[in-house]
Structure 1
Amino acid sequence: MGKPTGFLDYSRETPAHRPVAVRLRDWREVYETQSDEAIATQGARCMDCGIPFCMQGCPLGNRIPVFNDDVYHERWDRAAAQLLATNNFPEFTGRLCPAPCESACVVGISGDPVTIERIELQTIEHAYALGLAVQAAPLEESGRSVAVVGSGPAGLACAAQLRSAGHHVEVFERSDRVGGLLRYGIPEFKMEKAILDRRLTEMERVGILFHPSSPVGEGGESLSALRARFDAVVLALGSTIPRLIPVPGAELAGVYPAMVFLEAATRDVHGGPASPVSARGRHVIILGGGDTGADCLGTAH
């Protein structure tokens, strides 16, 4: 470790929020960007803990202590290589993941954990600037083809990995635009859609084909027909059936599942057709206080 006492010398610093008066006028992301120097200092807080429980806490097994050390020394190229070795889309997870890595951080036992997500975000932005955040092109073609049904996070990660292995990949999305939950389920103030489009452009560059407005099954090509055209079919359909509350009045007009409301709002932000599902000029009650409830709150406000 480059700074064995960093967790004692430096305090946890998170990015400032954009002023409320400013961000109420747009749908931009909430947080300001931190300087490279500030992020490097946060990287120094990663202690020589012996057993990196942060890696165990990360569903991807990101090599967190390694890229933290690289960031501390501002070796952004090496940090990017470590991060991208296990994570297809750090620009998504750095904004949207609940960060179980930080909950598992050993520094957090007696203090504040390392700001791993912010380090991850700064690293991937440097990777894009250095031309390192490229979708890996295959070394050779396998001659096999795979259809991926669904273009949410799972479908996109699957497509990226399959293309890297040399397979021809086509992604089928029932909605009018590619991205699934990332496109219509995540508010703009949590992740601007330009971030998603940047990654999709990179995936298209290496030959991944996207088919929006292409449902599979009811209203579109049958699964059996798709299976006949491709060597394999991957179903990455997401969870689209809302969990309704069995109480009187749940069926009344003006009561909507969260995803219905969030999708309508996102479409409205991007100039889509007017939707009757709108909080404009209305009093809003939100049932549920998790991340999705908070997304609905920010969107309605």
Structure 2
Amino acid sequence: MGKPTGFLEYQRLSEAYLPIAKRVKTYQEFVLRLSDEEAKIQGARCMDCGIPFCNTGCPVNNIIPDWNDLVYRGNWREAIEVLHSTNNFPEFTSRICPAPCEAACTLNIPPTAPVGIKSIERVIIDKAAENGWVVPQPPRRKTGKKIAVVGSGPAGLAAAQQLARVGHDVTVFEKSNRIGGLLRYGIPDFKLDKRLIDWRMAQMVAEGVRFQTGVLISNAALPKGVISDAKMVISAEKLKKDFDAVVLAGGSETPRDLPVPGRQLEGVYFAMEFLVPQNKENHGDIENPISAKGRHVVVIGGGDTGSDCVGTSNRHGAASVTQIELLPQPPEREDSALVWPYWPLKLRTSSSHEEGCARDWSIGTKEFVGESGKLRAIRAVRLEWKDGRMSEVEGSEFEIKADLAFLAMGFTAPVGGVLDAFGVDKDARGNAKATTDGAGCYATNVAGVYAAGDMRRGQSLVVWAIREGRQCAREVDQFLMGSTTLPR
């Protein structure tokens, strides 16, 4: 693969960032793409390892060694064809996927460093876009079958594109005023330029996909913390009557709450109450009603959503940003000999953290403290973990100055009402009950209704959503036509 001795001759080269002082002044992407020559050298590092664990580490099973070799040899057009054969949207994954493929790379065993798979992927798709190699693929014939896709995030978009390309009439319904779901509104612009969504959407329209925005498919009000621009409600019964199949592919958007004293204070918000309006402001739609400028911000939750709150607060000009986490601090380096090729538990410092953020672990929130109805501080306590059990450290209570607190502790279930409207059975976590094994994969208990992505598996990665959308599309095509040519 590539150059047989490349992994011995070349070191890993990661993508560079714009300087912090410059990038925090805008919401534009700041990761600098590798040059063609740099990408070729990184592709040369892909070794002939025998068993490419990167393929199985990647949820969409990208054929990574093949396109690494093609990049090394300068066969860019063939590289994008191989990349697109497994992944509908490499422009998204090459920017926001955490790259489990790199964790599974054979070169990730010390003392070497993994192949920069994600950075190579980005060069491939960006170069393909610039050269006009990404073109619509309309079907050769139409089947006459109509399919409704509920939700326009990565799972819904992947399912819609696959189904349209084999000739079905596909309509995507989105409750917000723009297409993209959590891709558009849950991820800050500085991590993913939303023009990429519009670019891919234009391709899908040319392939025959119809999009309807501002439409909620539900029979209940949305739970607190879920934001919607819906101006129309369509019943599940109408969808089932008007379409031959329905794919439920909404995101996991019901946020986990923190019901401690003072939760009602002004200044305590769910993360999405801050992030979604900011993305809408960047689009010129509205003004974000929450400003972190000159304020002391505390982010509760140590995951990606919390990191996004950190980066957005820094761009507002916050006086300080502190992120606290209930769990203990992970090790700085994983024990590769123990966990490889699986995704390791280790300390992850994002670009947003590097822009300015104090971090603390094993912290429990006891109370939101306020004055005149507004948040003033957070009363917290240090925690001790033993054998997986948590206990408070006696006498360790302290206060953190806070004008704003963002709850970024994950999401618990799909948007309220959608599954109930269709009468879909739920699993123990409140997600759609649908298997991925055996016959009838992704099918719910309701005939002709399928579920994929977060709505089926719960909160997860964009790459898992794309995988499930693609696989679900195959099952729907099989159901409607009796056979299918779509890949697994």
Aligned position for 1:84: 84
d(CA) in 2 for partners of 1:276 and 1:131? 40
CA contact (8 A) 1:29 1:189 kept: yes
**Residue 44 in structure 1 maps to residue 44 in structure 2:** yes
d(CA) in 2 for partners of 1:297 and 1:254? 16
d(CA) in 2 for partners of 1:179 and 1:201? 12
CA contact (8 A) 1:101 1:116 kept: yes
CA contact (8 A) 1:77 1:130 kept: no
Aligned position for 1:108: 108
Aligned position for 1:137: 138
Which residues of structure 2 form unaligned runs of 5+?
220-231, 315-488
* Structure 2 residue matching 1:281: 3-state secondary structure: coil
Aligned position for 1:239: 252
For residues 244-259 of structure 1, what are the structure 2 equivalents within 5 Å? 244-259=257-272
| Bigger-Rg structure (1/2) | 2
Aligned position for 1:154: 155
For residues 263-274 of structure 1, what are the structure 2 equivalents within 5 Å? 263-274=276-287
Aligned position for 2:212: 211
d(CA) in 1 for partners of 2:153 and 2:262? 32
Q: Superposition RMSD on alpha carbons, in Å?
A: 1.3
**How far 1:19 sits from its partner (Å)?**
1.8
1:120-153 C-alpha deviation (Å, 9 max, x unpaired): 1111112223333234321211110101111011
d(CA) in 2 for partners of 1:2 and 1:215? 49
Aligned position for 2:181: 180
* Structure 2 residue matching 1:256: 3-state secondary structure: strand
**Larger CA deviation: 58-67 vs 138-147:** 138-147
* Structure 1 residue matching 2:32: 3-state secondary structure: coil
Q: Percent identity?
A: 52
Aligned position for 1:56: 56
d(CA) in 1 for partners of 2:291 and 2:150? 30
d(CA) in 2 for partners of 1:6 and 1:237? 43
1:15-42 C-alpha deviation (Å, 9 max, x unpaired): 2111222212211112112210001100
* Structure 1 residue matching 2:269: 3-state secondary structure: coil
**How far 1:175 sits from its partner (Å)?**
0.6
Which AA in structure 1 matches 2:157?
L
* Structure 2 residue matching 1:188: 3-state secondary structure: coil
Which residues of structure 1 form unaligned runs of 5+?
none
**Residue 165 in structure 1 maps to residue 178 in structure 2:** no
* Structure 1 residue matching 2:298: 3-state secondary structure: coil
d(CA) in 2 for partners of 1:246 and 1:39? 49
Which AA in structure 2 matches 1:76?
W
Which AA in structure 2 matches 1:158?
A
d(CA) in 2 for partners of 1:121 and 1:2? 18
d(CA) in 2 for partners of 1:256 and 1:299? 14
**Larger CA deviation: 133-142 vs 256-265:** 133-142
TM-score with structure 1 setting the length: 0.97
More helix by share: 1
More strand by share: 2
**How far 1:179 sits from its partner (Å)?**
0.7
d(CA) in 2 for partners of 1:6 and 1:116? 15
d(CA) in 2 for partners of 1:40 and 1:250? 53
Q: How many residues align?
A: 301
**How far 1:289 sits from its partner (Å)?**
1.8
**Larger CA deviation: 27-36 vs 81-90:** 27-36
TM-score with structure 2 setting the length: 0.60
**Larger CA deviation: 42-51 vs 13-22:** 13-22
Which AA in structure 1 matches 2:70?
D
* Structure 1 residue matching 2:16: 3-state secondary structure: coil
Aligned position for 1:125: 126
Aligned position for 2:66: 66
**How far 1:48 sits from its partner (Å)?**
0.4
d(CA) in 2 for partners of 1:284 and 1:2? 48
CA contact (8 A) 1:265 1:278 kept: no
CA contact (8 A) 1:44 1:72 kept: yes
**How far 1:261 sits from its partner (Å)?**
1.2
**How far 1:211 sits from its partner (Å)?**
0.6
